[in-house]
């Protein structure tokens, strides 16, 4: 635990609580979830300022903010979600683990805003979550999925899983590959410390699922893009 952890406990958590109450009201008025996203994006930028996190975004020109995408990225720290909400110029929802959906008020706000809760594994509930993600894309919303399925402890990339790419294929939305570098140092896994630092977000050009023969080829191409950008920018 350090000073930034105390800022999180005594400043950010109260702000987040009142933000959740506000979004619960907004979700009743605006059932599209768009108002929730505006609050969430502001919250993401606030997190970066409070904790002294500088964010370098490379490739903003590679996507159209008026279009919708399946955004995929590597996952190395708890800071990933707020920073992506803050810097991506998309009306973005996340596929989140089911435990978040069980948190009182917070979970309800996420579900009302269109976030998709997923249960890990190959069971029926997990399959239903994938169907919900596909429907979200078909409705014209952008969705983010971490295809690694869990956070990396070291910041190194983990193997991608097929589920995200099945969603892209069935949902008919282009994939926007995003690489995150440095977030594992901000919020280390299994630690209460929050550190300041610099994070790089590299946004590459969209990939059209229809241009690939099958899901495995699509997954391999996406993994290749994220890996190439990770190796290119990690030491710069």
At 100-154, the pLDDT tens digits run: 888 999 999 999 999 999 876 667 777 888 899 999 999 999 999 999 988 888 8
Q: Which pLDDT score, from 0 to 100, does residue 121 have?
A: 62
Q: Which pLDDT score, from 0 to 100, does residue 32 have?
A: 86
CB-count exposure of residue 140 (10 Å: 0-12, 13-18, 19+): exposed
Phi, psi of 141 (to 5 degrees): -95, 150
What is the rounded average pLDDT for all residues in the chain? 92
What is the C-alpha to C-alpha distance for residues 164 and 215, in angstroms, rounded to an integer?
10
- Could you tell me the CATH number of the domain that includes residue 189? 3.40.1130.10
Tell me the pLDDT tens digit for each residue of 75-91.
988 889 999 999 999 99
Q: What is the mean pLDDT of residues 160-176?
A: 94
Domain that holds residue 138: 3-233
Tell me the pLDDT tens digit for each residue of 16-55.
999 999 999 998 899 888 899 999 999 999 999 999 999 9
Q: Which pLDDT score, from 0 to 100, does residue 125 have?
A: 72
pTM of the model: 0.93
Would the pLDDT of 215 be above 90?
Answer: yes
Q: What is the mean pLDDT of residues 41-70?
A: 96
Q: What is the mean pLDDT of residues 186-199?
A: 86
Please choose, from the candidates 167, 69, 80, 82, the residue with its C-alpha nearest in 3D space to the C-alpha of residue 118: 167
Question: What residues are paired with 202 via a beta bridge?
Answer: 58, 179
Q: Which pLDDT score, from 0 to 100, does residue 122 have?
A: 60
Q: Which pLDDT score, from 0 to 100, does residue 100 have?
A: 87
What is the C-alpha to C-alpha distance for residues 186 and 64, in angstroms, rounded to an integer?
29
3-state SS assignment for residue 148: coil
Q: What is the mean pLDDT of residues 196-219?
A: 96
Q: Which pLDDT score, from 0 to 100, does residue 47 have?
A: 95
Phi, psi of 92 (to 5 degrees): -100, 135
Would the pLDDT of 189 be above 80?
Answer: no
Q: What is the mean pLDDT of residues 57-75?
A: 97
What is the C-alpha to C-alpha distance for residues 73 and 157, in angstroms, rounded to an integer?
10
Residue 201 near residue 55 (C-beta atoms within 8 A): yes
Would the pLDDT of 184 be above 80?
Answer: yes
Q: How many domains does the chain have?
A: 1
Q: Which pLDDT score, from 0 to 100, does residue 187 have?
A: 84
């Amino acid at each position: 635990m350090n000073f930034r952890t105390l800022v999180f406990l005594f400043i950010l958590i109260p702000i987040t609580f009142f933000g959740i109450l506000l979004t619960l009201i907004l979700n009743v008025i605006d059932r599209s979830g768009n108002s929730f996203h505006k609050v969430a994006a502001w919250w993401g930028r606030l997190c970066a300022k409070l904790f002294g996190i500088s964010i370098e975004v490379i490739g903003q020109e590679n996507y159209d903010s008026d279009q919708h995408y399946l955004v995929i990225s590597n996952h190395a720290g708890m800071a990933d979600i707020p920073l992506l909400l803050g810097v991506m110029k998309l009306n973005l929802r996340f596929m989140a683990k089911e435990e978040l959906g069980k948190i009182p008020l917070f979970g309800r706000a996420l579900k009302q805003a269109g976030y998709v809760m997923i249960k890990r594994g190959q069971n029926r509930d997990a399959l239903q979550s994938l169907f919900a993600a596909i429907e979200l894309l078909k409705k014209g919303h952008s969705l983010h999925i971490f295809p690694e399925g869990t956070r990396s402890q070291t910041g190194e990339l983990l193997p991608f899983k097929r589920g995200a790419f099945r969603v892209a294929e069935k949902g008919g939305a282009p994939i926007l590959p995003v690489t995150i570098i440095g977030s594992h140092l901000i919020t280390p896994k299994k630690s209460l410390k929050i550190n300041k630092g610099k994070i790089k977000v590299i946004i590459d050009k969209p990939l059209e699922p229809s241009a690939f023969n099958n899901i495995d080829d699509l997954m391999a191409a996406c993994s290749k893009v994220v890996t190439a950008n990770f190796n290119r920018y990690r030491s710069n």
